[in-house]
Amino acid sequence: MPKINAGRLLSELRRFAQFGAYRTGVHRPSYSKEDMDSRRWLAQQYEAVGLQAHIDGVGNVLGMPRSQRQSLLIGSHLESQNYAGWLDGALGVIYGLEIARTFAETTDCAGLLIAPVAWADEEGHYLSMLGSRSFVGDIDEAEIDLAVNVDHGLPLRDALRAAGLAGVPRSLLEPGRHVGYLEAHIEQGDALEASSKRIGVVTSIVGIWQYSIVFHGIQNHAGTTRMAIRKDAGVAAAMLAMAIAKRFPEVAGPRSVWTTGRITMEPGAPSIIPGKAEMLFQFRDSEMPRLESLDAVLMELIQGVATKTGCRADIERTEAGEPSQMDPAFQVAIENAAARHAPGASVRMPSGAGHDAQVVARKLRAAMLFVPSIGGISHHWTENSDDADLVLGCQVLADAAETILRREGGEM
Amino acid sequence: MPKINAGRLLSELRRFAQFGAYRTGVHRPSYSKEDMDSRRWLAQQYEAVGLQAHIDGVGNVLGMPRSQRQSLLIGSHLESQNYAGWLDGALGVIYGLEIARTFAETTDCAGLLIAPVAWADEEGHYLSMLGSRSFVGDIDEAEIDLAVNVDHGLPLRDALRAAGLAGVPRSLLEPGRHVGYLEAHIEQGDALEASSKRIGVVTSIVGIWQYSIVFHGIQNHAGTTRMAIRKDAGVAAAMLAMAIAKRFPEVAGPRSVWTTGRITMEPGAPSIIPGKAEMLFQFRDSEMPRLESLDAVLMELIQGVATKTGCRADIERTEAGEPSQMDPAFQVAIENAAARHAPGASVRMPSGAGHDAQVVARKLRAAMLFVPSIGGISHHWTENSDDADLVLGCQVLADAAETILRREGGEM
């Protein structure tokens, strides 16, 4: 039985939070100095465990066993959202490192191969889940050529060059090399805390449908243009947001969520009627039919607002991800491990957030484990979890990894 | 009778639009190179008419008759809104220049003194109506010290220094020096066009009440935070915009207008629930009691939204201007001049836009003349007016100026 080193796990997590430390969280955007320093540090740790460490052409850090026998991939992403939490991503990465170390130190785990990994840009500073998509062969050079930073607009290629990754090949998943993939992550919600559970066994990962909705009105003077003749694009955007708030609950499922992340009015001056307003809107659900019906309702609402306000609407669906199902046998392995270390403390749940596991699951059997987030807070520097939960999560994942590897993948 | 030179007027207007030309409009923000070039050019023209030209410490361009007899101030502002129209402000300034030239050339106008003027930063790139407020002694150094640019945040002091105005004294209105003030401006609305009138005689200028309303919610993950527990500041802002759209018409007067110019959500990312949303809102009316009741209704609506959404609201009233009345005798002078040149083509109307005339009116008898805006469009580079209307407006203002000056101000 692999027994993880709790003290080492916690101190490595804290040490890792020093890369881009911001208040009690981190600011570690993709390919920033802090991000690349953390990736080089991690590669060194992988080497020290006897693994073949490699930072590939998009920044993925891979720790491959030197043996050709099947190994189990364990990891998550390294970069953070801007000025966000210390555990989002890093937790799963440091779990992978700790489990690799533990297995290397545990004699009766000899021959059970852990391949720890840290993906790049899951948070989408340039391309959402860039690293895992590159690893499973789901991205081409042309898409990388076109990508720019969502905050400052600089090309991904420039960032890769500045990070010293220009010309470095991208590592691809070798068929048959891995038993599967495990990822641990903070829940980022309050379901576990609210139900006093300590381990979430992820059943599926939601599909995210993202839209850019632009209303075109008529820009004019805010003092001299009579209300009767206005075509105010800003009013159209606010009207749509309220129409969604009223109508979506009638169509949504118990776990559907929808969010207007931004409304940008142009020119955005106090004395000018907005001639243009862009709204970033998204919804999520774990069932494809529901995603499709929410999409249909949205189109209907946009049409209604355009008619009422006289503002033309341009709609771009920038993302329409399918929900992803986690491997049933892997779920059982995590569930049983949780039952051994914290009886009655685990619960099955879908993931409302997107994760690299949904990408890897297209090619490998995959599963995820959640640990509770205090107050359900994440994507904010106050994000945190109890140390005891951080330790339990890693031990449960280590046990599940052993179970999965002993059955040599195939015949579970 | 002063007869203006139509060809010269139009060519000077077009020549002036070259300072910061942008598409068919201009981009001439306060104290930019284009703005200062245009001010120096104008000062040269004033000198050439025999006036004592001076650019004062805030950029006001004054053309003072060398005689000490009473003169009539005629002008408007020179700078433009960002990427906006070629006539907004410039029209009234070039009218002042053309009328000064015409009076200087017209023998039977000898001794009737025109003092053309171009105010600074009426558009409020730093401080709304800075130039005219400075001229009437309604601004102190401390306020100038604190002012920053609304777009890029750089201090007004730095802009003045860069423009070569550091240490230059600010010109103050000399009591008894002027008979009054006339300002011509494009209507910036469609009232004249809609009623087939060509001259607007302004009766009053609206008061503008401007607000910054900030809702504070809880920033969180857009995928994992259940709808039931969200405190979405962006939804609160949209809800307020819609509550205003529903309730204000019940309280508003026939010419009340209200506008949400901008909604800024933080952090503004697609997958993060906005924890903060700022709304720039304003309304305008020409009657003080109505402005006060609109303010009361707004406070009530904000309170209602804060209660419904659980988002705390911070309210800052950044502007609460009183409506300003134009001089009755000056209005008659403009009306009679219009009747001579275009019988039945003038109409009395309030101004929905703020103008320097409302500031000067605190110290001097003042009046305004409007010419039609094609399609009622302004604060946009497509802003325009018919040449015939541009010429008529200037001739009418010249005649009105003569009438006012012949009566030697006082005894009208």
Name the token pair of B178.
């002027």
Last residue of a domain, one of B255, B286, B320: B320
Which residue, A56, A152, A73, is CA-closest to A115? A73
Q: Hey, which bits of A255-398 come out as E strands?
A: 257-266, 272-273, 276-285, 312-320, 324-325, 346-351, 366-371
Cβ distance B288 to B246 under 8 Å? no
In chain A, which residues have their Cβ closer than 8 Å to the Cβ of B283? none
- Residue B274 within a domain: yes
Distance CA B179, CA B181 (A): 7
A412, part of any domain: no
* A412 has pLDDT over 70: no
Residue A197 shares a structural domain with residue A76: yes
- Same domain, yes or no, for B148 and B223? no
Given a contact cutoff of 8 angstroms between Cβ atoms, the answer to whether A223 and B188 are in contact is yes
Q: How many CB atoms lie within 10 A of CB B411?
A: 6
> Could you tell me the CATH number of the domain that includes residue B120?
3.40.630.10
Report pLDDT digits (tens) over A145-200: 999 999 899 999 999 999 999 999 999 999 999 999 999 999 998 999 999 999 99
Q: Which residue has the tokens 């959500």?
A: B265
Q: Is the pLDDT of residue A230 over 70?
A: yes
Return the pLDDT at B379.
Answer: 83
The verdict on a CB contact (< 8 Å) between A219 and B282 is: no
Model confidence over A69-88: pLDDT tens digits? Answer: 999 999 999 999 999 999 99
Q: What is the pLDDT of residues B47-60, one digit of tens each?
A: 999 999 999 999 99
Residues 6+ apart with CB under 8 A from A175: none
> How far apart, in whole angstroms, are the C-alpha atoms of residue B287 and residue A257?
46
Cβ contacts (< 8 Å) between A150 and chain B: which residues? Answer: 269
CA-nearest of B408, B412, B411, B378 to B91 is B378
Q: Closest approach of chain A CAs to the CA of B320, in angstroms?
A: 14
Helix (H, G, I), strand (E, B) or coil at A146: helix
Using a 10 angstrom Cβ sphere, with 0-12 exposed, 13-18 middle and 19 or more buried, the burial of residue A329 is: middle
Confidence label for B252 from pLDDT (cuts 50, 70 and 90): very high
Tokens of residue B397, six digits: 């203002």
- Sign of the C-alpha dihedral computed for residues A34, A40, A44 and A50 taken in this order: positive
Domain count, chain B: 2
Q: What pLDDT does residue A369 have?
A: 98
Residue at a domain's end among B289, B320, B351: B320
pLDDT digits 0-9 by tens, A19-49 = 999 999 999 999 999 999 999 999 999 999 9
User: Do A183 and A215 sit in the same domain of this protein?
Assistant: no
State how far the alpha carbon of B334 is from the alpha carbons of A407, B86, B108, B188, B195, in Å: 97, 24, 20, 19, 19
Quickly state the pLDDT bin for B68 (edges 50, 70, 90).
confident
pLDDT at A278: 98
Q: Is the pLDDT of residue B410 over 50?
A: no
pLDDT of residue A1: 86
E strands in A112-271: 113-119, 178-186, 199-205, 207-216, 220-221, 257-266
The answer to whether the CB atoms of A380 and B232 lie below 8 A apart is no
**Nearest CB neighbour to A261, from listed B269, B351, B354:** B269
Nearest to A265 among B229, B263, B284 (CB): B263
> Whole-angstrom Cα distance, residue A74 to residue A85?
21
Q: Provide, rounded to the nearest whole percent, the portion of chain A with pLDDT above 90.
A: 93
Altogether, the residues listed in chain B come to a count of 412
A44 and A153 part of one domain: yes
Q: Let me know whether B214 and B199 are in one domain.
A: no
Strands (E) across B169-206 are located at: 178-186, 199-205
B264: β partners: B278
Residue B41 and residue B115 in one domain: yes
Q: Which of A357, A348, A271 minimizes the C-alpha distance to A321?
A: A357
Per the CB < 8 Å rule, is A82 touching B267? yes
Domain match, B247 and B334 both: no
Q: Above 50 in pLDDT, residue B409?
A: no
Q: How far apart are CA A239 and CA B260, in angstroms?
A: 13
- What domain range includes position B161? 6-205+326-406
Residue B1 within any structural domain of the chain: no
> For B27-44, how does the pLDDT look when each residue is reduced to its tens digit (9 = 90+)?
999 999 999 999 999 999
Residue A411 lies in a domain: no
Q: How many helices (H) and strands (E) does chain B have?
A: 12, 17
Give percent above pLDDT 70 in chain A: 99
Answer whether residue A1 is part of any domain.
Answer: no
Nearest CA in chain B to A232: B259
Show the tokens assigned to A41.
Answer: 């540090």
In angstroms, the CA A13 to CA A42 distance is 12
Q: Which of A248, A379, A384 to mutate to test the interface with B (most CBs of B within 10 A)?
A: A379
CATH number, domain of B295, equals 3.30.70.360
Count how many Cα atoms sit within 13 Å of the Cα of residue B280 in the half-sphere of its side chain: 21
CA dist., res. A234 & res. A311, Å (int) = 10
In this structure, are A79 and A33 located in the same domain? Answer: yes
Backbone angles phi, psi at A214, to 5 degrees: -115, 120
The Cα A179–Cα B275 span in angstroms is 42
Mean pLDDT of A267-287: 95
Q: H or E segment at B266?
A: strand B257-266
**Whether residues A251 and A190 fall in one domain:** no
Strand partners, B258: B283
Question: A354 pLDDT exceeds 50?
Answer: yes
Q: Do B27 and B174 belong to one domain? A: yes
DSSP A148: B
Predicted local confidence at residue A408, as pLDDT: 61
pLDDT in tens, A311-328: 999 999 999 988 999 999
pLDDT tens sequence across B170-214: 999 999 999 999 999 999 989 999 999 999 999 999 999 999 999
Assigned domain for A10 exists: yes
What's chain B's Rg over C-alpha atoms?
A: 23
- What's the 3-state SS for A82-123? CCECCCCCHHHHHHHHHHHHHHHHCHHHCCCEEEEEEECCCC
Tokens 């948070």 belong to residue: A123
Return the pLDDT at A215: 98
C-alpha–C-alpha distance, residues B17 and B383, integer Å: 12
Last residue of a domain, one of B320, B344, B379: B320
**pLDDT of residue A405 exceeding 60:** yes
The pTM for the full model equals: 0.77
Residues from chain A contacting residue B273 (CB–CB below 8 Å): 259, 261
User: Rounded distance, CA B120 to CA B232, Å?
Assistant: 41
B184 and B230 housed in the same domain: no
Q: Let me know whether A290 and A199 are in one domain.
A: no
Q: Tell me the pLDDT tens digit for each residue of B101-114.
A: 999 999 999 899 99
Q: Is residue B100 part of a domain?
A: yes
Selected residue with higher pLDDT from B25 and A189: B25
Q: Is residue B296 part of a domain?
A: yes
State yes or no: pLDDT of A382 exceeds 60: yes
- Does A188 contact B380 at a Cβ distance shorter than 8 Å? no
CA atoms of B59 and B160, how far apart (whole Å): 8
Q: Which of A221, A227, A238 sits opposite B378 (nearest CB)?
A: A221
**Chain B neighbors of A265, CB-CB under 8 A:** 260-263
The pairing of strands B71-77 and B178-186 is: parallel
Q: Does the pLDDT of residue B219 top 50, yes or no?
A: yes
Is 70 exceeded by the pLDDT of residue A397?
yes
A contact test, residue of B379, B380, B385 with most A CBs within 10 A = B379
Residue of A105, A77, A67 lying closest to A16 (CA atoms): A77
pLDDT at A410 over 80: no
CA distance A41 to chain B (A): 29
Among residues of chain B, what percentage have pLDDT more than 90?
Answer: 93
Neighbours of B6 (CB within 10 A): 16
> Hey, are the CB atoms on B263 and A267 less than 8 Å from each other?
no
